[in-house]
Structure 1
Amino acid sequence: MKKIRLLLYVSIVALLTFPLAACSQSPTTIKVAEVTRSIFYAPQYVALEKGFFEDEGLDVELTTTWGGDKTMTTLLSDGADIALVGSETSIYVYARGASDPVINVAQLTQTDGTFLVAREEQPEFKWEDLNGSTFLGQRKGGMPQMVGEYVLKEQGIDPKEDLTLIQNVDFANIPNAFASGTGDYVQLFEPTASIFEREGKGHIVASFGEESGHVPYTVFMTKNSFLEENPEEMEKFTRAIYKAQQWVQDHSAGEIADVIQPYFEDTELDLIETVVDRYKSQGSYAEDPVLDKEEWSNLKPIMEEAGELPADVDHKTLVNTKIAEDVMK
């Protein structure tokens, strides 16, 4: 009788614990390659720190790959499942006849993130002041360089004729080159621009983001094959990003700075807050992950003006809005 009771007890325990074991599945690992580490990508770090990815059953492994070409190479070689990089890279890959094109899924930033920094203080700065100057620009073919040239042309400045344009400095070395004396003006991301201003190495005189309007500047993208094989994971990932975007919109620059500080340990908290406020004020952080047709259409003339548009690719060819639209419902 005791044996029967024992067997019944063991059976009941097994039945009760089996559903719990089945429900507590280990999270799915998603490898993400970001083009650079920047406060410009604050919503991504919010999603990580606030546990929005964990809530979706995802374990996100973030790697910084320092440059658009390196980021895309990492994605195409399966070193990452998702890349955070400019949309122009997906057009470059498509134009080369890729059998597995890269699809834009969730937009993170919607303006340029660079600022024009002058070596001398210019409280009455006008864009025409660049005429005859030496301008230290960004890498040829990248979004910062293309937007930079587009804005200059919109201001009546021919970057090839009206100033000396330097574009042969590696992305990571541009700040050091300017600090060492190269150029009268430089195009810089934050927080470097604000750090230079604090240290007296330069002065922010204009924002390329304010001048360029909305463009799909940085977007989470993945290979079409990964998207087809992992639709649920991509939906969960995009939902977490959307939660972070909403959180950023609803909280102050100071609160955002507190959350993302672990990703910028060498940057003072008040400086992070200043940068977040600057980006937030000019509408750089996308409010939702949808990359719409209008923004895609704004991208192509910028690339064309820079002589970097290899093909006129339709929005529907390289952009998936369904996932973003579904998670917003």
Structure 2
Amino acid sequence: MKRWMKLSFSLLLISVLMISLAACNNHSQTKNKKLEKVRIAEVTRSIFYAPQYVALAKGFFKDEGLDITLTTTPGGDKTMTTLLSGGADIALVGSETSIYVYAQGSNDPVINFAQLTQTDGTFLVAREKIDNFSWDLLKGKTFLGQRKGGMPQMVGEFVLKKHGIDPHKDLNLIQNVDYANIANAFASGTGDYVQLFEPTASIFEKEGKGYIVASFGKESGHVPYTTFMAKESYMKENKATIEKFTRAIYKAQQWVQTHSAEEIAKAVEPYFPDTDLEIMKTVVDRYKSQGSYATNPVLDEEEWNNLQNIMKEAGELPKEVNHKTLVNTEVAKDVMKN
């Protein structure tokens, strides 16, 4: 009797284990099946895009069933080329690029669907330390600006004009240096002033290579500086994917809004292995304090019009485009409601 009971118990135990293993295996397979691959091409790697890295680090994309592949494609032109050629599903780049593509008569326009940053992210860096900076100090100096036609350069010119400086007459403007080489060019001795993103600007300051004297973001006001966009065809064919993606970004934006600069810096640290944590905290705090991180993914009409005004002022607006033509706010608004 005891032998029979032992045998029965052993068989029962084996059955339970087999069922548990099968269940775990099925759960794992189901989980893997749910993960959908989405390729992002980002215009640069910058703490300016902290909410994106938070979404990755905190697993917000995975929670939505998305497996993200992130590739850095330096420069708006390269990022847009990658998107249009099918090398990426979604691009994180300046909204002006979608206008350029539309103006060329594209049959498959690029649609902005989730805003990530809402101010310019660059800073004016001087070669020498200036205790009492004023913009007129740039007159007659050499200014190493950003690529012609890109948002950083257009905002730069917009701000200079705002302060009574003609960028093409009152200073020596250099804007033919490739985006990836601008910082190195300044470090090598080119220019009295340079327009830089973070964390490069703060790193230069720490190393004594330059000194931050002004913020272009504070000067230019709200603008859809960097947004997630995709081809219209992709958005139509992958509505659920776009919604999941936007929901993950919104979660990250809310997380960034409610956490300290130190917590944010620690969260995104894996994406900046060569950057000192203290520098990262300084950068995050600087961007948060000037309201650079969008708190939700909606790109509104006022921001869109401000973007086109800046482009027009720089002589780079090929044609005016209605907000509804290249911006989809429905997905972002639905995500926020739910």
TM-score range, shorter-chain basis? over 0.9
Does residue 1:238 correspond to 2:241, yes or no?
no
Q: Which residue matches 1:26?
A: 34
Q: CA deviation at 1:22?
A: 8.3
1:176 corresponding residue in structure 2: 184
Deviations 1:2-34 (A, max 9, x none): xxxxxxx9xxx7xx9698588543300000000
Report what 2:141 is aligned to. Answer: 133
2:251 aligned counterpart, secondary structure: helix
Show the counterpart of 1:320: 328
Larger Rg: 2
1:247 aligns with 2:244: no
Task: Within 5 Å, give how 1:92-171 maps onto structure 2.
Answer: 92-171=100-179
CA RMSD of aligned residues (A): 1.7
Classify 1:29/1:182 alpha carbon distance in 2 versus 1 (closer, same or farther; 3 Å). Answer: same
Within-5 A mapping of 1:37-116: 37-116=45-124
State the SS of the aligned residue for 1:79. coil
**Offset at residue 300 of structure 1 (A):** 0.5
Partner of 1:310 in structure 2? 318
**How far apart are the structure 1 equivalents of 2:121 and 2:36?**
32
Q: Percent identity at matched positions?
A: 73
3-state SS of the aligned residue for 1:98? coil
Match of 1:264 among 272, 275, 281: 272
Instruction: Output the amino acid matched with 1:183.
Output: G
Which of the residues 6, 29, 43 maps onto 1:35? 43
Aligned partner of residue 117 in structure 1, secondary structure: strand
Residue identity matched to 2:188: S
Indicate the SS of the match to 1:121.
coil
Shift of 1:180: 1.1
Q: Which runs of 5+ in 2 are unaligned?
A: 1-14
What whole-Å deviation, never above 9, does each CA across 1:40-84 have from its counterpart, x for those lacking one?
Answer: 000000000000000000001000011100000000011000000
Partner of 2:220: 212
TM-score, normalised via structure 1 length: 0.94
2:285 to 263, 270, 277: 277
Decide which of 171, 192, 207 is 2:200's aligned counterpart.
Answer: 192
Residue of structure 1 equivalent to 2:8: none
Q: Runs of 5+ in structure 1 lacking a partner?
A: 1-8
Instruction: Give 1:281 shift.
Output: 0.5
Describe the shift of the 1:208–1:23 C-alpha distance in structure 2 as closer, same or farther (beyond 3 A): same
Change beyond 3 A, Cα 1:206–1:234: same
Structure 2 letter corresponding to 1:303:
M
Q: What amino acid is the match of 2:233?
A: S
Cα pair distance change 1:266/1:19, threshold 3 Å: closer
Deviation at 1:291, TM superposition (A): 0.2
C-alpha distance 22-185 of structure 1, shift in aligned 2 (>3 A): closer
SS in 2 for 1:97: coil
Distance 2:185 2:80 in 1: 26
Q: Counterpart amino acid of 1:284?
A: S
Runs of 4 or more, structure 1, over 2 Å off, are: 16-26
Give deviations 1:70-129, integer Å, cap 9, x for gaps.
000000011000000000000000000000000000000000000000111111000111
Residues 258/20 of structure 1: CA separation in 2 closer, same or farther (3 Å cut): closer
